[in-house]
Amino acid sequence: MNATKDLLYRIADDCLIIAHRNSEWTGLGPLLEEDIAFSSIAQDKLGHALSLYRILHEEFGERDPDTIAFTRNEKDFTCCHFVELPNGEYDFSLMRHFLFDAAEFLRWTMLKNSSIASVAALAAKIQGETKYHVYHGRTWVIRLASAGNEESKARMQSALETCWPFALGMFEHGVDEQALIREGVFAGEDELKTQWEEFVRSTMVEAGLIIPEHDAAVLGGRKGYHTEHLQPLLDEMTVVFRTDPGAEW
């Protein structure tokens, strides 16, 4: 697969799968506002995935968005393991939300300069949406870690430690990083990771949380190797579609 298509698939698949995970909080959030927040963020992420699948369809000859989203096999997905993990408790979901959304926000900020016009236009649009996601995640991480009690702080620290190696896996290289950089499509995962670490560090300092130092990234998602959690998620996500694939909504 060419480097650009691979990049767009990676971003879109991450958004689709985290959207599904976020939507699992609908009706179950720890308080009404958080229920609404995770559901809204899910809806935004679905919009991001759809917009990218549409570009893949219209400009790169891939199949239509619904077919891409609902009929591929597990090994054809290139999402990272981080987004596949079950929601767990709210502390884990919240920390993942902050770490993932910080990366997504910075990624779209970089993509505003993409040499692909449709991607650059979409990036300008999505940057405005993802800043709300980061703002939300950041507010709650800081609130629970530095303004909460001992238990909330301990939970946020523990969630950070659980998340960290998976979060590093977000920056696993695609098929040809150099081609993306050379052609001005995207400045690359390494550059993104540098910006992300700096961004996350400043929030964690404010929150009083300690970032693990010697973790290795959990890799494989970008090459189609997934955790045991992805297939059950896909089964559930596609159940309605598979019931009647030709249905008009």
- CB nearer other proteins, residue 131 or residue 229: 131
Q: How far is the CB of 45 from other proteins (least distance, A)?
A: 7
- CB nearer other proteins, residue 50 or residue 95: 50
- CB nearer other proteins, residue 178 or residue 202: 202
- CB nearer other proteins, residue 2 or residue 43: 43
Q: How far is the CB of 97 from other proteins (least distance, A)?
A: 12
- CB nearer other proteins, residue 144 or residue 218: 144
Structure tokens of 205? 């300092």
- What is the C-alpha separation between 168 and 82, in angstroms, rounded? 9
- CB nearer other proteins, residue 87 or residue 109: 109
Q: How far is the CB of 136 from other proteins (least distance, A)?
A: 5
- What is the C-alpha separation between 46 and 42, in angstroms, rounded? 6
For binding to other proteins (CB under 8 A), which residues are involved?
33-34, 36-37, 39-41, 43-48, 50-51, 105-106, 109, 118, 121-122, 124-129, 131-132, 134-136, 138, 195, 199, 202
On whether the CB atoms of residues 56 and 9 are closer than 8 A, the answer is: yes
Q: How far is the CB of 224 from other proteins (least distance, A)?
A: 26
Q: How far is the CB of 163 from other proteins (least distance, A)?
A: 19
Q: How far is the CB of 82 from other proteins (least distance, A)?
A: 20
